[in-house]
Copies of this chain bind each other. A is one copy, B any other.
């Protein structure tokens, strides 16, 4: 299993547009991508510009295939215009 936390810092005037696009990506991923255990969009309760995708994949290969998929490539190309600061992405193994 691979857990992914992809934290994005979005420009204030782009938050709504980012949410719409990311929600579409969530739907397309859950419907189409093999090996997806969980894929969700989350908003920080104290800072609405922090928008994070938290994911769970059966293995690294499934994650790689998702990142190569057309819907992911198109969405991430558009995300670049919405970002205020560089994001953080962490890939994790579960220990406990």
Contacts and interface: CB of A to CB of B under 8 A. Distances in A.
Q: By DSSP majority rule, is chain A's interface helix, strand, loop, or mixed? A: strand
Q: Which of A54, A93, A96 has the most CB of B within 10 A?
A: A96
How many copies of this protein are present in the complex? 2
Query: Interface extent on A, as a size class?
Result: 20 to 34
B94 A42 contact: yes
A36 interface: no
B42 A95 contact: yes
A46 B44 CA distance: 25
B91 A26 contact: no
A91 B45 contact: yes
- 7 closest cross-chain pairs (CB), A and B: A42-B92, A23-B96, A41-B96, A26-B96, A45-B91, A41-B95, A44-B90
